[in-house]
Amino acid sequence: MRTFIVSAFVAYSTLALAAPSAKSTLKLKESVVAPRGWTKREAAPRDLPINLRIALPQSNFPLLEQHLYEVSDPSHARYGAHLSKEEVNELIAPPPESVDAVTSWLAAHGLDEGDLVRSPAGDWIKVKVPVSLAEEMFDTEYHVWEHTSGDMLVRTTAYGLPEHLHSHVELVQPTTLFSRFRGMKTTFHFTGEAVDTSSATSAPAISVPSASGGQVDASCNTTITVSCLKQLYNAVGYTPLNNTGNQIAATGYLDQFADLADLQSFFAEEVPDAVGSTFDLVSINGGQNDQSEPGGEANLGEYTQFAFGIAFPIPSTFFTTAGSPPFIPDIGTPTDSNEPYLDWLDFVLNQTSLPQTISTSYGDDEQTVPESFAQRVCAGFAQLGAQGVTLTFSSGDGGVGDGDPDPATTECITNDGTDRVQFIPAFPASCPFVTAVGGTTNVPETAIFFSGGGFSNFFARPSYQDQVVSNFLNNLAPGTFEGLFNTSGRAYPDVSAQANNFLIFFAGEEALIGGTSAAAPTFAGFVSLLNDARIRAGQPSLGFLNPLIYSLSSGFNDITTGNNPGCGTDGFNATVGWDPVTGLGTPNFGVLKDLVLSA
């Protein structure tokens, strides 16, 4: 059953637009209610250049999705037969009539082929135009919008297109996208102080039957290190190779950089064999890696410490992508570019060789992202999965709420104009084509209170989740949180990992940090080890992970205590089996290795 469904248009109205060559009748393509916390300010400067992205239909996406599930399902004969970039591009190429119609419309506004940048498959067109022309093309008005946090965007809440183009254009951005694209992090866990673990070093080890040797160092109950994670997740003694073609990568946005000196300090403390090694740096759209202003989030969430330490010596890559809010429209800021997901996708989908495992620790409330935009970004993740890439995303740090410290947006109120109280799902964690990672704490493990989890309002529940999610819902007491979540939506997280008291180096000093931004790269590190085992056995990489992991009857440490409060409730409870706090549980590498080698 297809779970990726392009949104129906919200409403229609007839508009008129004077194109350069003729009058055209427009109908409303998309409209939104501005999310809570945003206030419309002055009209956008008419000469401000904006980078328009026009999405053409991906005519054979249902077939691509079919291929994705077949090559990701261990019970299917095609399991592991990942597609090439060329095969993916052929499947998502837009119909020729759509290309012709949109090209002609752009030409009517004075934009010829030399002004356009087309994606490799032709399903996206990028063009830079001044606000004045964009307003003319869409019969709309752009304004500066200010968030209570101080972030500023240039946006509109509605736009139109010629009626004959509605079947040829799925969306245009930047128009209705008000997402702030926050890093998934819990800053209140960052201490910035030296860490003293001496009191725990002489304490007796903690009995954990699923761990390596059946026990874990007592210090791991207060301070998480690479050694702790390998003990806890049963990977002690496994050494990967660095020459199999296996790679691990991370994405960095929002001016969060990877500090090279701190990485070496971390290696010296926790992975001595890795001292002197580093990662490949890939800059996208002018992304930087400023060593004078590294970020705590990138130090941890983007593999520069823990995931690189877990996976060493597997080659690693740090993607740094430019484009970040806040946008302040003044003379010193010529463009409004805060859609870095698409910049990153543009780049990686054009590569012939990709890292097999990529982790991201950024996202936002699902409701701040137009559904059409979320669907297309999610489709991009599906294209990567079809090519054999595992994508892990942190599930968020707000429990069942939004996790935003801004009081204007923490009331769990819907953005659809009805002002209903509802749990707030996160995106991209809610995309069914990624593996969302929740958080745990302590040894033995329990769910950590901020572990993001819930049910999507945009994406239907994928078939791979039917049994476990139905079991969870059937075991809820009647009426529990009735009306607060979408029982038929894609449920997340899928899995979990430790997410608290990670010992990192920041600005040359030891510090503790936490969040699902720690859990996602941790889980990805163990996926990279699993890929090492498969590739060494002559098997393909795991790729899109979810159909496999939901089919397994073992391989995860079931977390059955804890909950994720939010929205004035205690949130969901961790329970036997899958739950929307810790998913299927935390990885048992030793068991999973045997299972994936026989898949």
For residue 180, which amino acid is it?
Answer: R
**Do the Cβ atoms of 537 and 526 come closer than 8 Å?**
no
Question: Half-sphere exposure of 243 toward its Cβ, with a 13 Å CA cutoff?
Answer: 0
**Do the Cβ atoms of 118 and 375 come closer than 8 Å?**
no
**Do the Cβ atoms of 129 and 105 come closer than 8 Å?**
no
What does the alpha-carbon distance between residue 130 and residue 113 come to, in Å, rounded to a whole number? 17
What does the alpha-carbon distance between residue 271 and residue 264 come to, in Å, rounded to a whole number? 9
454-460 vs 38-43, strand pairing mode:
unpaired
For residue 173, which amino acid is it?
Answer: Q
In this structure, what token pair is assigned to residue 218? Answer: 């007592």
Question: Half-sphere exposure of 191 toward its Cβ, with a 13 Å CA cutoff?
Answer: 16
What are phi and psi for residue 463, nearest 5 degrees?
-60, -30
What does the alpha-carbon distance between residue 374 and residue 45 come to, in Å, rounded to a whole number? 28
Helix (H) or strand (E) holding 526: helix 516-536
Closest CA to 343 of 117, 171, 170: 117
Strands (E), 285-375: 316-321, 357-360, 362-365
Burial 95-116 (b: 16+ CB within 10 A, else e): eeebbebbbebbeebebeeeeb
What does the alpha-carbon distance between residue 395 and residue 404 come to, in Å, rounded to a whole number? 14
Q: Is 92 annotated as a binding residue?
A: no
Q: Is 296 annotated as a binding residue?
A: no
Q: What is the DSSP letter of 540?
A: -
Closest CA to 497 of 426, 430, 571, 435: 435
Q: Which residues are annotated as a binding site for Ca(2+)?
A: 558-559, 577, 579
Q: Which residues are annotated as a binding site?
A: 558-559, 577, 579
